Chain A
């Protein structure tokens, strides 16, 4: 099944629940009409929250840059010694 079909199925199910709520009037109609808005807002909040958490916990590795510089020096020394042209610095 294509992924878009899965997502559409999910939305159709949600819409069906919403319409049935409208029909049966289990909760006041004025509230029910606002439910899609709540849904969109909470989806947006979820997105922002996940991006925020991701940013706060973004793994960084400053020490790797230092290690890499050491590797580069070692590599250049070996390569130059073996006749590979790796520049003059």
Chain B
């Protein structure tokens, strides 16, 4: 596999906010699981007060500042613009987007890379809802909400992708640049908007099963108002795509 990958470079963009422990663990696991791959990790930190950036600087001393790039921003400016910000500094021809909270395990990175090479896909998206995938740490209520949201989205949008709000994805850099500029939503809806727009534009999307362990360290960021935001996002996508 290593020979085939020689010409590809993967830029892994990880937006962070108060993830000092998680970011260290993520970086270690990425280096452990794709040692033979040419990659860089771009950490977009939104001015975390917990010293996330100090940890990243320590990691740079261990792994090298050509492999770990810290591209900080002064304050919380939103997820969508974090990706755009990271993308500006990406030197790879592929971009991987993942969460910093360890719910996305770097051990799946080889699956994404392999799937992309086998199928020549423009986007490979991780899905929790197929055989081999799964979720751990969700209450019944959370599962119910998730299933309801999914059925609603599939009935209304026919997106052709089983996990719309998952955010562990690999993109061809040109494809990500093309779709990200037209996406305006925030949070979960942003992930859905990206994949629906990509699907409508006719990009080749493949899926790989991933498991999702709800955050181990730090508190979960799901609030009640997100359901309202989700419904608004659905209507927005109905009328614009």
Interface size on B, residues (CB 8 A): 43
- Check if A60 sits within 8 Å of B62, measured CB to CB: no
Residues A61 and B136 in contact, CB atoms below 8 Å apart: yes
Complexed CA–CA distance, A86 and B19 (Å)? 11
Q: A60-B135, A61-B134 are in contact. Are A72 and B216 (CB under 8 A)?
A: yes
Query: Nearest chain B CB to A26's CB is how many angstroms away?
Result: 29
Chain B residue with minimal CB distance to A59? Answer: B134
Q: Whole-angstrom distance between the alpha carbons of A54 and B59 in the complex?
A: 41
- Stretch in B37-45, B92-100, B140-148, B183-191 with 4+ CB within 8 Å of A: B140-148
The reply to whether B102 and A51 contact each other, CB–CB distance below 8 Å, is no
B213 touches A61 (CB 8 A): yes
Beta-carbon contact of A68 and B21 below 8 Å = no
Those of B149-183 within 8 Å (CB) of chain A: 150-152, 155-158
Contact at B62–A83, with CB atoms within 8 Å? yes
Given A3-B237, A75-B24, A86-B24, CB of A54 within 8 Å of CB of B151: yes
A58 contacts B136, CB within 8 Å? no
Interface size, A (range): 20 to 34
Whether A84 contacts B62 by the Cβ 8 Å rule is yes
- With A59-B135, A83-B58, A83-B61 in contact, is A7–B216 under 8 Å at CB? no
| Centre residue among A46, A60, A82, A87 by max chain B CB count within 10 A | A60
The answer to whether B203 has its CB under 8 Å from any CB of chain A is: no
How far apart are the CA atoms of A60 and B146 in the complex, in Å? 13
A22-78, CB < 8 A from B = 46-47, 50-51, 54-55, 58-62, 64-65, 68-69, 71-72, 75-76, 78
Decide: B239 and A4 in contact? CB cutoff 8 A. yes
| Any B CB within 8 A of the CB of A16 | no
At the interface, yes or no: B91 with Cβ under 8 Å from chain A? Answer: no
B212: chain A residues at CB < 8 Å are 61
Contact present for A59 and B28 (CB under 8 Å): no
Select which of B59, B105, B136, B241 is within 8 A of A3 by beta carbon.
B241
Q: Which of A58, A61, A75 contacts B25 (CB 8 A)?
A: A75
Q: Are B147 and A51 in contact (CB under 8 A)?
A: yes
What's the Cα separation between A80 and B241 when bound, in Å? 49
B238 touches A4 (CB 8 A): yes
Within 8 A of A (CB), among B90-120: 102, 105
**Can you list 17 A-B contacts (CB < 8 A)?**
A4-B239, A47-B151, A47-B152, A54-B147, A55-B144, A59-B134, A61-B134, A61-B212, A64-B136, A65-B216, A68-B213, A71-B25, A72-B25, A75-B24, A79-B24, A83-B61, A86-B24
Instruction: List 6 tightest A-B contacts by C-beta distance, closest first.
Output: A61-B134, A59-B134, A54-B147, A75-B28, A61-B211, A64-B211
Q: A residues touching B (Cβ–Cβ < 8 Å)?
A: 2-4, 7, 46-47, 50-51, 54-55, 58-62, 64-65, 68-69, 71-72, 75-76, 78-79, 82-87
